Amino acid sequence: MPPAFDGWDGIGGAEGEYVAATIAEIGLDHLGGVALLAAKGYDMPVPIAVGINDAAQLFHAAGPEFRRPSTMSLWVRSLQAAGATVDRVLITRLVGTTVYARIILSVPGGELRSLDARPSDSLALAMQTNAPLFIGRRLAASLQPGALELELGDWSEQRPPTPSTRDSPPVPAQASYAHTRKA
């Protein structure tokens, strides 16, 4: 039994937590690739880092269909054969340096399913199926100019911590030579 679909994103989030986005540009260099997402209402594009192979997959998804299907084309055809459609793709959040994404599928019977996915696969799937793309508002806002300053607040009012006034005896140093070898 699949888990219950919760919220608009399948994991408890509300529709208002997301904003429509489009893929503005795909870039590639010797270190990897990047997809720049234009988020509605935000000035700066949101960069999503992807690997070299993932960037190539995005280029392929944006280009013409070849005679032989790509892995992504096969995935789309498999979903279609099963009667499922991609309802929407969500770039949800950033944790550390990892970006998370969800794919919302509409399955036969009108039910929705939410799948955890890599952002690069999600973006390629959105391109292949023309599914709407959304990005978390917090993620989009966190990468705008001045976002770091807003998050950190006014540092001019911050004071360094005061040293402890508690008297504590010095801790004697102990040497250990257990890890050394005799010559």
How many residues are recorded in the chain?
A: 183
pLDDT band at 47 (very low <50, low <70, confident <90, very high): very high
Confidence of residue 181 (pLDDT cuts 50, 70, 90): very low
- The residue-averaged pLDDT of 30-56 equals 89
Architecture of the structural domain at 22-145: Roll (3.10)
Q: What is the mean pLDDT of residues 150-154?
A: 51
Tens digits of residue pLDDT in 92-119:
999 988 999 999 999 999 999 999 999 9
Question: Lowest-pLDDT range, 27-41, 83-97, 146-160?
Answer: 146-160
Confidence band (pLDDT; 50, 70, 90) for 147? confident
Nearest to 28 by CA among 125, 120, 97, 92: 120
- What is the residue extent of each domain of the chain? 22-145
- pLDDT digits over 117-139, tens only? 999 999 999 988 999 999 999 99
**Identity (one letter) of the amino acid at 12?**
G
**Mean local confidence (pLDDT), 77-105:** 95
pLDDT over 70 (residue 49): yes
Tell me what the pLDDT averaged over the chain comes to.
82
